[in-house]
Structure formats: structure tokens, C-alpha cells
């Protein structure tokens, strides 16, 4: 594997290897063991979208592996002034050892990877968020000890997060139920691909508009903001559409008693989730956020070593 653009790029064995390395790096970091796996390596980090977790976790991660990260705002480099993605890819390939890009159109990431001679990591696009989905599965496995046979329920917008979770769940045999309003269901082509993958892992995929049906007997409950970056002009419309798609104590009560709650953050308490849930004992959202660091270190080490 040269790049990580979507979960489709990974085999089941590849996912397991990333998880094993993530666990090793996390444990040894806690023990104070330093790593120089990427000594003198440089990661170029292109940001067309603002970020807290993505920027900090990648920049700290490459540093902890012995390398360094360079923040490249799309407004500060020539890409933002009309230079082609092809030329940018070829130039950066002469300077750095890997590229992480967080942007809007997924086709831009694909084009960057096509012309770059170095690994390209998708830090988020409007279509996919593979690093977050891998982190989510790693966090579930860390908490539950396994993935196959568990049920994860996602409630909310059928966005880039859902696309990646569908593919990731199907790859590892995790059952997934998505509850969304009819107008905001996951992309049909992604659901189709996920169902095709799920045939070999016996993962069950359910798409519904009934949140209590979706949440019943869930091991994991997950939600995201109702309006993602780029959807700001739809906030009022979305708030109306998603008003009944909130993760609250009633929804948690139909899940398993030991169910955990996940959210990729940032969160809007009182909208997609109540404060009672996200700040409650079943929430592990900050363990989940921390694990972005460890999983992305494993991804960088795998691609850039």
C-alpha cells in the first residue's frame, strides 16, 4: 500500500497490522520509550479545512517518531493561487517524505496521490475520513477486546464519517446500523460497496430512519454534528431535519448496558447529543480523540518508513 485515501485501500490484514502497531506505540509512549522510526523524515501537511485534532495529532505524531511536520495552508502555498495539483505533487515529492491533506473534494486527493512519488494520507475530504474511522475501530477494540460480532449504531448525517465507518465495519466484520433522515442517508454507491465487502466478513449492514430500532442492543453508539464543514449555509434546515436524531438517555437505554458512546468531535451539546451522554460514564470520546495520535503514528510509520 503506497497511500491511504479510503478504507478500501486496506486489507483486513493491513488493518490488523496498523492496530497492532498503534497499540505498541501507545504502550511504549506511556512507558516513556522514544521512537525514531521516521528519523529525519518530513511530512507536508496541506490544510484547506481548519482542524484541531487532525493538525495537532499529525504534527505531534511525526515529531514523536523522530521526524517533523510542515503546516501548509492552501492559502499560503501556490496551490491556492492556481498552481495545478499535479505540479504541487511533483514539487513536494522532491522536498518531503509524505503528504497529509485535509481538503474538500476527494478527487483532489486522488489526483495528488496519482502524481506524487511519496505516500499521500487523506486527513479528511467531503467524501471520506479514513484516519478517524480506523481510530474509532481501534478504540472499540481497545475497549471491547474484539470487533467481529459487535454492533455499532451511528445516528445522524450520512456524511464522510459514515462512508468511512461503513467500509471499515464491513472490512472487520463489525455489524453497523445507520439511522438518518431520508434526505440525509449515506451515499448509495458507498453502501453498495460496503455490502459487497460485508459478504466475505459476514458483517450486517442496516440503513433505517428509526433511531430506537437502530440503537437496540448496540455495543457502540456514535454520532457526529448535524452540519459538517461546508454545510454552514444549511444549518437551520438541518437542525429541523435532525431534531429527533439526538443521542440521549432514551436512546442509550435501548442499547446494551455496557454500550460505549463515541463522537469524532467537535460536539454540539444539546443538538446531536445531550451533555448527559457525552459527559457521562459510558462516553469515551476523549480516549477516542487521543487515539488519533497513536493510530496516525502507526499509519505514518507503515507508509513512510
Q: Would the annotation count 265 as a binding residue?
A: yes
Active-site hit among 3, 97, 108, 129: 129
The catalytic residue among 102, 106, 238, 294 is 102
Other CB atoms within 10 A of residue 1 CB: 12
Which residues contact residue 228 at a Cβ distance below 8 angstroms, ignoring those fewer than 6 apart?
Answer: 126, 157, 159, 160
Say which of 238, 263, 292, 294 is annotated catalytic: 292
CA angle 128, 129, 132 (to 5 degrees): 160
User: What is the rounded distance in angstroms from the CA atom of residue 79 to the CA atom of residue 83?
Assistant: 5
| Annotated binding residue 130 | yes
The one-character DSSP state at 184 is G
Told to judge if 129 belongs to the known catalytic residues of this protein, a careful annotator would answer: yes
Q: How many residues are given for the chain?
A: 305
* Annotated catalytic residue within 132, 246, 288, 296: 132
- From the list 3, 224, 263, 294, the catalytic residue is 224
Is 131 known to sit in a ligand binding site?
A: yes
Say whether 294 is catalytic. Answer: no
Q: Is 52 annotated as a binding residue?
A: yes
Is 246 an annotated catalytic residue? no
Check the annotation: does 132 bind a ligand: yes
Helices (H), the chain: 12-30, 53-64, 85-95, 106-115, 130-144, 160-172, 188-201, 211-215, 235-241, 249-254, 275-278, 285-304
**Residue-wise burial string across 200-216, b where 16 or more C-beta atoms lie within 10 A, e elsewhere:** ebebbbebebebeebbe
54 is in an annotated binding site: yes
Phi then psi dihedrals of residue 95, to 5 deg: -110, -45
Q: Does 102 show up as a binding residue in the annotation?
A: yes
| 292 annotated active-site | yes
Do 85 and 114 touch, CB atoms closer than 8 A? no
Residue with cell 443538538: 271
Residue 224 known to bind ligand: yes
268 marked ligand binding residue: no
Contact 221, 256 (CB under 8 A): no
106 assigned to active site:
no
How far is the C-alpha of 278 from the C-alpha of 256, rounded, in Å? Answer: 17
Check whether 78 is labelled as a binding-site residue: yes
- In the residue annotation, 102 being an active-site residue is answered as yes
**35 labelled ligand-binding:** no
264, 288, 294, 296: the catalytic one is: 264
Binding-site sequence positions for carbamoyl phosphate: 51-54, 78, 102, 129-132, 264-265, 292
Binding-site sequence positions: 51-54, 78, 102, 129-132, 160, 224, 228-229, 264-265, 292
Binding-site sequence positions for L-ornithine: 160, 224, 228-229
Residues with a catalytic annotation lie at 102, 129, 132, 224, 264, 292
Amino acid at each position: 500500500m503506497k497511500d491511504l485515501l479510503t478504507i478500501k485501500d486496506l486489507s483486513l490484514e493491513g488493518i490488523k497490522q496498523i492496530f497492532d502497531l498503534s497499540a505498541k506505540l501507545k504502550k511504549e509512549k506511556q512507558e516513556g520509550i522514544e521512537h525514531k522510526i521516521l528519523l529525519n523524515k518530513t511530512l507536508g501537511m496541506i490544510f484547506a479545512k481548519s482542524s484541531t485534532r487532525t493538525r495537532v495529532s499529525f504534527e505531534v505524531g511525526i515529531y514523536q517518531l523522530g521526524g517533523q511536520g510542515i503546516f501548509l495552508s492552501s492559502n499560503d502555498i501556490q496551490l491556492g493561487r492556481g498552481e495545478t495539483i499535479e505540479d504541487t505533487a511533483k514539487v513536494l515529492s522532491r522536498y518531503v517524505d509524505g503528504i497529509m491533506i485535509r481538503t474538500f473534494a476527494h478527487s483532489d486527493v486522488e489526483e495528488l496521490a496519482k502524481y506524487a512519488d511519496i505516500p499521500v494520507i487523506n486527513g479528511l475530504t467531503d467524501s471520506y475520513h479514513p484516519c478517524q474511522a480506523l481510530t474509532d475501530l481501534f478504540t472499540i477494540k481497545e475497549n471491547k477486546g474484539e470487533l467481529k460480532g459487535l454492533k455499532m449504531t451511528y445516528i445522524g448525517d450520512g456524511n464522510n464519517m459514515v462512508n468511512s465507518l461503513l467500509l471499515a465495519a464491513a472490512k472487520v466484520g463489525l455489524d453497523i446500523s445507520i439511522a438518518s433522515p431520508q434526505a440525509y442517508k449515506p451515499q448509495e454507491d458507498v453502501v453498495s460497496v460496503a455490502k459487497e465487502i460485508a459478504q466475505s466478513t459476514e458483517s450486517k449492514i442496516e440503513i433505517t430512519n428509526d433511531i430506537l430500532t437502530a440503537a437496540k442492543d448496540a455495543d457502540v453508539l456514535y454520532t457526529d454534528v448535524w452540519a459538517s464543514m461546508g454545510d454552514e449555509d444549511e444549518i437551520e434546515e438541518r437542525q429541523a431535519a435532525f431534531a429527533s436524531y439526538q443521542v440521549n438517555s432514551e436512546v442509550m437505554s435501548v442499547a446494551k448496558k455496557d454500550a460505549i458512546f463515541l463522537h469524532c468531535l467537535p460536539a454540539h451539546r444539546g443538538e446531536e447529543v445531550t451533555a448527559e451522554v457525552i459527559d457521562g460514564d459510558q462516553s469515551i470520546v476523549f480516549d477516542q480523540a487521543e487515539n488519533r495520535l497513536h493510530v496516525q503514528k502507526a499509519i505514518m510509520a507503515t507508509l513512510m518508513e
